[in-house]
A and B are shown apart, each in its own frame.
Chain A
């Protein structure tokens, strides 16, 4: 079988899984549905590996295969096929997506067990994986947009999975609408490219980029910026990021899969995929780099003060994606993709650990109430720490190599890019602090009540409540059910977290500058046409960067240890001392408030204005009233003639008759 046939299978497995679970929802037992879902993703992962092997058999210049199944829409010059593109970039994304998804599915089999909508969950989750794979395999813009929107829909459905929670449904609609803004950006961007090149498939557009556009051509820059709107909406970059923290309303495996490991990194994939465009329009790429840098700093600063465990990790995700965006925007594609991969491992792992902790806390998510889980949950502690080390960029962990590579490439661009790299290093320091703030606050210190109970062998129980509002939960539907599942006690969860912990620590060794460089070599065929493909920082510069990165990371961890571990009161003192800063950060730089004031309220007011003023006075009053009035006036005139008086009728008749006679008499004479 050729690589593209495997590619179709990669798509077919999750789709079939979704259909089987969705159509068999009445007859399938819960666990069986979970395993069917996991097996489907496992099948997709296996097919992706087969695809990889087949692709590697091809000569390097032929490692970009397109296969078309049928004509999707073709009319009047607009021509789109249902076609997939298999090249190293899409294969790498497929491997990451299906691999991490498989582990998270396995984790969910146990984690979601007490949920009443277990099968719905797996149907959605399989649908998500299908959409994400469609997104990365698409060979043209329209199919890309289809996958793009499908993942948005899946994300919406899973964010509002516990739909009896008003907070969850609100978060869902917010995420959905911001994602649609991104979709529209993509559509218009695709139009601008179509307008200039007459093509909608990648190959056709990229082939014409050089001839259709001059360097930094206005239309191309506009198109790229619109593509960036799509990328930023999906990847939660400033200023379209406000949905991601709220998306934590979804079940924890969802946060782990969609809102950390895979979907939110789609923006990075998009920029990497569109590299011929961005290289022709470096102005857009520069804007993207700056926004990525801003995001990585702002998000990290917020992550420092968040007290909600999941939201803190969500801001960390934003920040890390900022690094990736920076990487691909300075044309360091393999570095960006490398970080995408390592981040998928360690962030999925962190969320899984968080899920386990939250279950042990009986659904409480506030860091303030946690503490001392180290002894109660040794396995979770070990894996969570592994993830945190990678996130903090501790020397020789995966995050260490990937993050430093991005920053080394950024410095290599020289000029003002050095400033971006400096911000990146400062943020790396903050990253190490917040990563270990989580570790120390959750697992160290005075054991909380729940931790003590767990040590005694019991699971803490609480009446179900909404962690965001404290409202009592409507237990009729969905989680949290009566049982909580924590990693310590479930084989399936351990089986998912173990491999990820190993990957988080060791995956970095595939790309040690000057030593292994596996990722870079693998991706080379995709980026062969890039002007920057051979523009490496020298090995010595990379090692310098690594040394700096290592120092910063260790310093950050030590600072965190000093604040949260050795002198527990320090954080309160700092809060007091920098009160305005703390207020700014804990209000998340007031983005939500600004949107509410600038967009939501005016729109609602406009709707109210339309309903009360335009509808009632203009449309109903003036137009309807006017038309009806004219008709009514005419008819009332006609009615007034009909008096019902017989003699009056006779008189009118005679009058008319005599008038006619008179007329003829006059005419005759």
Chain B
């Protein structure tokens, strides 16, 4: 199978994720979209790995998954903490870092 199909699919998923990150206001959905973007990257990595014929890309993908898992844990933890403190769950309201 031609590698371009995988690349197109990966790009497609990445764009969906990126669009989601930029348009949605709920942090939960943004996290989901981030996962989509990461997995788009993983797909591309594995595809290339197959094409080249060694396993380095796959190892990379595994590491990315681990990082993604950590990120989700932290992100969800923050969201839960915000629920507990009854803060609004809206990224636009969270602009404390404004200079």
| Interface set of A (CB-CB < 8 Å, partner B) | 638-647, 650-651, 654
Contact of A654 among B22, B23, B91, B98 (CB under 8 A): B22
B78 to chain A, nearest CB (A): 12
Please measure, in the bound complex, the distance between the C-alpha atom of A644 and the C-alpha atom of B97, giving whole angstroms: 5
Please measure, in the bound complex, the distance between the C-alpha atom of A654 and the C-alpha atom of B96, giving whole angstroms: 22
A459 to chain B, nearest CB (A): 84
Please measure, in the bound complex, the distance between the C-alpha atom of A643 and the C-alpha atom of B18, giving whole angstroms: 20
Query: Are B92 and A647 within 8 A (Cβ)?
Result: yes
Is B53 an interface residue when CB atoms closer than 8 A count as contact?
no
| Cβ-closest 10 pairs across A and B | A644-B95, A642-B99, A644-B98, A639-B99, A644-B97, A646-B91, A650-B21, A647-B22, A650-B22, A651-B22
Q: What is the 8 Å Cβ interface bit string for chain B, positions 60-99, against chain A (1 contact, 0 not)?
A: 0000000000000000000000000000000110111111
B7 to chain A, nearest CB (A): 13
A-B contact pairs, 27 of them (CB 8 A): A639-B99, A640-B99, A642-B97, A642-B98, A643-B95, A643-B98, A643-B99, A644-B94, A644-B95, A644-B96, A644-B97, A644-B98, A644-B99, A645-B92, A645-B95, A646-B30, A646-B91, A646-B94, A647-B23, A647-B25, A647-B91, A650-B18, A650-B21, A650-B22, A651-B22, A654-B18, A654-B22
Q: Which of B18, B91, B92, B99 has the most CB of A within 10 A?
A: B99
Please measure, in the bound complex, the distance between the C-alpha atom of A646 and the C-alpha atom of B93, giving whole angstroms: 10
**What does DSSP make chain A's interface, helix, strand, loop or mixed?**
helix
- Further contacts, 8 of them, CB under 8 A, given A647-B25, A647-B92: A638-B99, A642-B98, A642-B99, A643-B98, A645-B92, A646-B30, A650-B18, A650-B21
Contacts of A646 in B (CB 8 A): 30, 91-92, 94
Please measure, in the bound complex, the distance between the C-alpha atom of A640 and the C-alpha atom of B99, giving whole angstroms: 7
B25 nearest in chain A by CB position: A647
Q: Which of A639, A644, A651 has the most CB of B within 10 A?
A: A644
Contacts of A647 in B (CB 8 A): 21-23, 25, 91-92
B27 nearest in chain A by CB position: A646
A661 to chain B, nearest CB (A): 11
Interface residues on B, range: 10 to 19
A583 to chain B, nearest CB (A): 75
Contact of A641 among B22, B30, B94, B99 (CB under 8 A): B99
A667 to chain B, nearest CB (A): 20
A651 nearest in chain B by CB position: B22
A634 to chain B, nearest CB (A): 13
B45 to chain A, nearest CB (A): 17
A135 to chain B, nearest CB (A): 69
Contacts of B25 in A (CB 8 A): 647
Contacts of B98 in A (CB 8 A): 642-644
Contacts of A650 in B (CB 8 A): 18, 21-22
A465 to chain B, nearest CB (A): 70
Contacts of A638 in B (CB 8 A): 99
Please measure, in the bound complex, the distance between the C-alpha atom of A281 and the C-alpha atom of B49, giving whole angstroms: 104
Contacts of A639 in B (CB 8 A): 99
Please measure, in the bound complex, the distance between the C-alpha atom of A631 and the C-alpha atom of B18, giving whole angstroms: 36
A638 nearest in chain B by CB position: B99
Please measure, in the bound complex, the distance between the C-alpha atom of A646 and the C-alpha atom of B96, giving whole angstroms: 10
Q: Which of B16-74 contact A (CB under 8 A)?
A: 18, 21-23, 25, 30
Contacts of B97 in A (CB 8 A): 642, 644
B18 nearest in chain A by CB position: A654
B40 to chain A, nearest CB (A): 13
A639 nearest in chain B by CB position: B99
A322 to chain B, nearest CB (A): 78
A642 to chain B, nearest CB (A): 3
Please measure, in the bound complex, the distance between the C-alpha atom of A646 and the C-alpha atom of B75, giving whole angstroms: 14
Contacts of A654 in B (CB 8 A): 18, 22
A647 to chain B, nearest CB (A): 5
Contacts of A645 in B (CB 8 A): 91-92, 95
Contacts of A644 in B (CB 8 A): 94-99
B15 nearest in chain A by CB position: A654
Contacts of A640 in B (CB 8 A): 99
B89 to chain A, nearest CB (A): 13
Please measure, in the bound complex, the distance between the C-alpha atom of A645 and the C-alpha atom of B22, giving whole angstroms: 11
Please measure, in the bound complex, the distance between the C-alpha atom of A641 and the C-alpha atom of B95, giving whole angstroms: 13
Please measure, in the bound complex, the distance between the C-alpha atom of A444 and the C-alpha atom of B42, giving whole angstroms: 124
Please measure, in the bound complex, the distance between the C-alpha atom of A654 and the C-alpha atom of B19, giving whole angstroms: 10
A113 to chain B, nearest CB (A): 77
Contacts of B99 in A (CB 8 A): 638-644
Please measure, in the bound complex, the distance between the C-alpha atom of A151 and the C-alpha atom of B98, giving whole angstroms: 69
A422 to chain B, nearest CB (A): 89
B92 nearest in chain A by CB position: A645
A642 nearest in chain B by CB position: B99
B96 nearest in chain A by CB position: A644
Please measure, in the bound complex, the distance between the C-alpha atom of A638 and the C-alpha atom of B99, giving whole angstroms: 8
B91 to chain A, nearest CB (A): 5
B23 nearest in chain A by CB position: A647
Please measure, in the bound complex, the distance between the C-alpha atom of A645 and the C-alpha atom of B93, giving whole angstroms: 8
Please measure, in the bound complex, the distance between the C-alpha atom of A486 and the C-alpha atom of B18, giving whole angstroms: 107
B71 to chain A, nearest CB (A): 15
Please measure, in the bound complex, the distance between the C-alpha atom of A91 and the C-alpha atom of B11, giving whole angstroms: 109
B3 to chain A, nearest CB (A): 18
Please measure, in the bound complex, the distance between the C-alpha atom of A650 and the C-alpha atom of B21, giving whole angstroms: 7
Please measure, in the bound complex, the distance between the C-alpha atom of A639 and the C-alpha atom of B97, giving whole angstroms: 10
B30 nearest in chain A by CB position: A646
Please measure, in the bound complex, the distance between the C-alpha atom of A650 and the C-alpha atom of B91, giving whole angstroms: 12
Please measure, in the bound complex, the distance between the C-alpha atom of A650 and the C-alpha atom of B30, giving whole angstroms: 11
Contacts of B30 in A (CB 8 A): 646
Please measure, in the bound complex, the distance between the C-alpha atom of A641 and the C-alpha atom of B22, giving whole angstroms: 17
B92 to chain A, nearest CB (A): 7
Please measure, in the bound complex, the distance between the C-alpha atom of A647 and the C-alpha atom of B30, giving whole angstroms: 10
